[in-house]
Structure 1
Amino acid sequence: MGFVKTLAKNLKDRYHYSWVVLNELVKTDFKLRYQGSFLGIAWSVIKPLMLFGIMYMVFVRFLHFTDGTPQYPVVLLMGNCLWQFFAEATGTGLRSIVDRGDILRKIHFPNYVIVVSATCGALISLGINLVVILMFAILNGAQFTWRVLLLPFNLIELYIFALGCALLLSTIYVHFRDILHIWEVISQIIFYATPIIYPLSMVKNNYPIISKIMLLSPIAQTFQDARHNLVDPHNVQTIWNEVNNPLICLIPYALSVIFLILGVYVFRKHSRKFAEIM
């Protein structure tokens, strides 16, 4: 017990200042995000709902991208909200160091706090959207199971992957500004390569091998797992019921951790020279 108390005290003393700075940056960023806007924080809900409405009309009503289940509109909404989180976390995280360059030159604090604060802002928006998704699912007659308890683990995995990408991208952006445009193209490729606007069953019916390969991506895997656990555990395919090999099923989880470790390593290696370069 004494060792645990000592370790807890050391961790608290070491990261207390970083936590205070992170808390202030997150609050400031979230307030400034909607400053001067008439609807303010409501845009965190309105924007994904508007995008969902467009996707639903175009891809479900006109192009018939659906698995035919009553829960698919909720599945589509959740996929859209999860993608908005990932896109915002990586997009703002990529620019965060350069955008906060003036603070880095004036105040001494751990640089990683800036990137974490950018991803936390996206995480807050996701939390708000999840409440809307939950209400929408209830109105749509979703049958919740005990698997809802697994949802936080899916979101933690997605956040770990997004944070790893953000740390890596923000480091590259300091040295190589073209990465912003390259990442925009890559993001579009990832978006269409992930079952967001179309159900995975459409791919599975025509290209079963490709559907399994898609699930090796941490993004597709977390999206499908989150949908499966919260919205529709009977019809949403996951890597666990599509791939028989448990070791292969662990690949997207391992990739999430690898990207975080790589992001932390690259960021720490170059962060000391950020202020000089900018």
Structure 2
Amino acid sequence: MIIKEIFTKKNRLLLKAMVSTDFKLRYQQSVLGYIWSVLKPLMLFAIMYVVFIRFLRFGADVPHFAVALLLGIIMWNFFNETTTGGMMSIVGHGDLLRKIYFQKHIVVIASSMSALINFGFNFIVVILFCMLNGVMPTASWLLIVPILIEEYLLALGIAFFLAAVYVNLRDLNPIWEVVMQAGFYGTPIIYPISMISSRAGEWGLLIAKLDLALNPMAQIVQDARHVMIAPENPTIWEWVKFPVSLWPVVFSFLVFLGGFHYFTVKSKHFAELV
């Protein structure tokens, strides 16, 4: 019933207006404008490439790891942007919440849609890099769609939860920044997950399997690299037995449902608190 109310004609028009406004304001008065949405991940990629691939030789045994690094960075940035932007979206639209009545979920969804548009621009760059490095499109590329849906639902569920908590706890922002920084290094983005097992023996293999099984973003990044870049990138489906291998996917959906429910309960009092 709530989902049906969210996507009424009135709310769809409001969602469209909010997404358009948010995306325009993001780079307002910036010299390069929307180009920054592509330049920022590329600049981070350039630094990571020089330090970790050229000097430290990470991923030397994995085909096209430079492209895999870029793909991992933009997928993590999308997750980071969706959760962080969603967390602050309700507080940032306090005036609007006090003036008109609408489903508060629209505010968080609009923030996530802006992040999704940003991701779309960056994903085009990844495709160009793939082709320049000899990674040509195949039928397996279509499998990126359910992987991205899983990531979007995971990020949106967390964004709903963070947005509801942030209304009462403004200290959540710096806490979440630390969590995201730790998550970035705990997820196989700047290094191939095979490096853990090869350098730490049996214990490393166990850690790698646990990371894939318990960290949904690790599973999402590895699956994306496997279907788009090279099959040498191991996936949870290869390393962990069924039905344990389903856990990251199930967990992502549970996070979405739990975050949506928590936000729905708390949203009744947002206008009084922001």
Bucket of the pairwise TM-score, normalised by the shorter protein: over 0.9
Name the aligned partner's letter for residue 268 of structure 2. R
Which one of the candidate residues 242, 248, 251 is aligned to 1:246? 242
Bigger shift: residues 177-186 or 91-100? 177-186
Quick check: 2:193–2:208 contact (8 Å CA) kept in 1?
yes
Q: 1:73 to 1:14 in 2, by over 3 A?
A: closer
Deviation, 1:13, is 9.9
> What TM-score do you get using the length of structure 2 for normalisation?
0.94
Equivalent pairs counted in the alignment come to 268
AA of the residue aligned to 1:241: E
Distance 1:154 1:14, change over 3 A: closer
Corresponding residue for residue 76 of structure 1: 69
Whether the 8 Å CA contact 1:25–1:117 is kept in 2: the answer is yes
Structure 1 runs (4+) greater than 6 angstroms displaced: none
1:109 aligned residue: 102
Corresponding residue of 1:164: 157
Matched to 1:220, the amino acid is: A
Matched, 1:209 2:206: yes
What pairs with 1:169-188 in structure 2 (closer than 5 Å)? 169-188=162-181
Q: Does 1:123 align with 2:116?
A: yes
- Contact in 2 for aligned 1:67/1:199 (Cα 8 Å): no
Which of 224, 248, 260 is the equivalent residue of 2:222? 224
1:15 aligned partner: 8
| Contact 2:86-2:160 within 8 A present in 1 as well | yes
1:69 to partner: Cα distance? 3.3
**2:62/2:233 contact within 8 Å kept:** no
Residue number in structure 2 paired with 1:155: 148
In structure 2, relative to structure 1, the CA distance for the partners of 1:276 and 1:222 (3 Å cut) is: same
**1:37 to 2:30 alignment:** yes
Shift in Å at residue 144 of structure 1? 3.5
Structure 2, unaligned runs of 5 or more: none
Amino-acid identity (%): 44
Q: Deviations over 1:211-248 (max 9, x none)?
A: 0111121111111111111111x2111101111x2211
Alpha-carbon shift at residue 145 of structure 1 (Å): 2.8
Q: Is the Cα contact below 8 Å between 1:144 and 1:231 reproduced in 2?
A: no
Kindly provide the CA deviation profile for residues 130-177 of structure 1, in whole angstroms up to 9, marking residues without a partner as x. 111001000100144321111011000000000000000010000111
Structure 2: distance between partners of 1:149 and 1:255: 23
Corresponding position: 1:54 with 2:18: no
Shift of residue 14, structure 1, vs aligned partner = 6.0
Q: 2:112–2:156: 8 Å Cα contact kept in structure 1?
A: yes
TM-score normalized with structure 1 length: 0.93
2:125 aligned residue: 132
Aligned-residue RMSD, C-alpha: 1.7
Residue range with higher mean Cα deviation, 161-170 or 182-191: 182-191
Q: C-alpha displacement at 1:38, in angstroms? A: 1.3
Q: Which amino acid aligns with 1:174?
A: V
